[in-house]
Amino acid sequence: MLKQTLSQKLLQKLSPQQIQLMKLLQVPTMELDQRIKEEIEENPALEEGSDEDESFENEDYEERGESTEAEREFDINDYLDDDMPQYKTSVNNTSRDDEDRSMPISGGVSFQEVLLSQLGLRKLTPKEKTIAETIIGNIDEDGYLRREIEAMVDDLAFTQNIQCAEEEIEDVLFLIQDFEPAGVGARDLRECLLLQLERRHHGNIAVHTAKKILEKCFEEFTKKHYDKIMAKFEIEDDDLKDAIDEIVKLNPKPGGSIKEVTDSKNIQQIIPDFILTEDEGELQLTLNSRNAPQLRVSKSYEEMLRSYAEGAKTSKSDKEAVQFVKQKLDSAKWFIDAIYQRQQTLLLTMQTIIDYQRDYFVSGDETQLKPMILKDIADIVGMDISTISRVANSKYIQTPFGILSLKFFFSEALSTSSGEEVSTREVKKILSDAISAETKKRPLTDQKLTEILKEKGYNIARRTVAKYREQLNIPVARLRKEL
């Protein structure tokens, strides 16, 4: 049985203005500048500049009896030409909440194009040239040939209708391995390093020893079993050290050198969102000027709407045009208000972080960092944790000690033997300092690092020390060993 009822429900729902503010909060300074430009282009009722500049310009034009540029460019008849306004006929199948995930296309010359340009300098038969192009097409950006020779024989047979033996492909591969940069076309790391050593001076004893090590003791070398290497080749510490120095100079990713050059123009510089300065012992926090733009609602738009609405006709097209202008004015006011709220939220949150971590901002010593999580700051400022997370996302602050990410100041707590809570970042700093000061011939093991921390009052298990070491991108003791 169907039945109609009338009921009331109380729901929490974000308004469009709140959604716009949440999106602006997580946008860093560099992207905010672009976001404001897009809004100005889409909304003619929004302009850059302060209200004081607008009043000065209006007075100047009134004295000269001239109209402003915005008034000259705008014509209300543009909205009244058709019975159906143009904005009504536009189609938009995406929501404002959808994120643009399109990938930009980078310029420059690819690694394969560099190799093909060198191929043109060699005298090859049409068949060899086709084989060479197939090999180059299978070389990755690091400069390695990961595809098996047997698989390329099948590729040539099915795609190019060329029958060839594996030996023919290997002959062409040896030719490509003579290209620049040295080591290109190698099938593994060992072959890559050997190809580079082949171009070194053959009369050098250290180079000769390095080649023998890579040819016959590559596994022992990667695991730093230096005692086994010295026993096998009957060499002294100094000879082994000279050979290792030659190997260390080699490039394990030859394709990366060209990629870095071609992609250098795509490197984005970090723009700090906050600037922290010290003046006579007082810390002063300011927003980056690019983070605090001056925006205003177009006065000419407001005056035009007011004058037109007073004498507007009652036709449908006139009402829709007035409604369109009102919508643009409201959108401009909302956007300006969202920018203002964004600035206030950023300043309040960052100032709270500075007050919470004042000892660090005064001294610059990482060991002075207190344990701090998002909830700690959210409770102080009276905001939701998600809001604080958006503020800390992709934001940077310029301090007297360098430009740091806001996430740098957040860390979990760890209890000492005396019951005091300290930041895990403090423990990582102690670990990093201990490893930096260790004797490289006998590096500190995880167990020894655990004992050092326990002597300082930090009761941490060995597996926790290993986890912190990995987070610092520091290898195990055996791989840190040097002669």
pLDDT attached to residue 93 = 55
pLDDT attached to residue 107 = 53
- For residue range 130-161, what is the model confidence (pLDDT) as tens digits? 898 988 888 888 888 888 999 988 888 888 88
Tokens found for residue 82? 């058709």
User: In angstroms, how far is CA 175 from the centroid of its own chain?
Assistant: 38
CA distances from 270 to 59, 102, 397, 455 (A): 41, 22, 10, 40
Domain limits of the chain?
111-261, 413-480
pLDDT attached to residue 65 = 45
For residue 464, give every residue at least 6 positions away whose Cβ sits within 8 Å of its Cβ, in sequence order, or none. Answer: none
Poorest-confidence range of 103-107, 127-131, 221-225?
A: 103-107
113 residue type, one letter: E
pLDDT attached to residue 92 = 53
Tokens found for residue 9? 């429900």
Q: Is the pLDDT of residue 116 over 50?
A: yes
pLDDT attached to residue 348 = 92
Tokens found for residue 240? 């082994």
% the chain with pLDDT above 90? 5
Residue 257 or 185, more confident: 185
- For residue range 210-227, what is the model confidence (pLDDT) as tens digits? 889 888 888 888 888 888
447 residue type, one letter: Q
Q: Is the pLDDT of residue 78 over 50?
A: no
Within a 10 A sphere around the Cβ of 326, how many other Cβ atoms? Answer: 13
* pLDDT bucket at 259, cuts 50 / 70 / 90: low
Q: What is the largest CA-CA distance in the chain?
A: 103
Average confidence (pLDDT) over 32-52: 79
Q: Is the pLDDT of residue 398 over 50?
A: yes
Residue 189 CB burial class (10 angstroms; 0-12, 13-18, ≥19): middle
pLDDT attached to residue 351 = 93
Residue 181: cis peptide before it, omega within 30 degrees of 0: yes
User: Residue 279: enclosing H or E segment and its boundaries?
Assistant: strand 274-279
Poorest-confidence range of 16-30, 60-74, 112-126, 365-379?
A: 60-74
Could you give the CA distance from residue 180 to residue 186 in angstroms, rounded to a whole number? 12
Poorest-confidence range of 28-32, 310-314, 363-367?
A: 310-314
% the chain with pLDDT above 70? 78
Mean pLDDT of the chain: 78
pLDDT attached to residue 377 = 92
CA distances from 110 to 102, 181, 255 (A): 21, 14, 10
pLDDT attached to residue 70 = 44
CATH annotation of 413-480:
1.10.10.60
Average confidence (pLDDT) over 406-422: 76
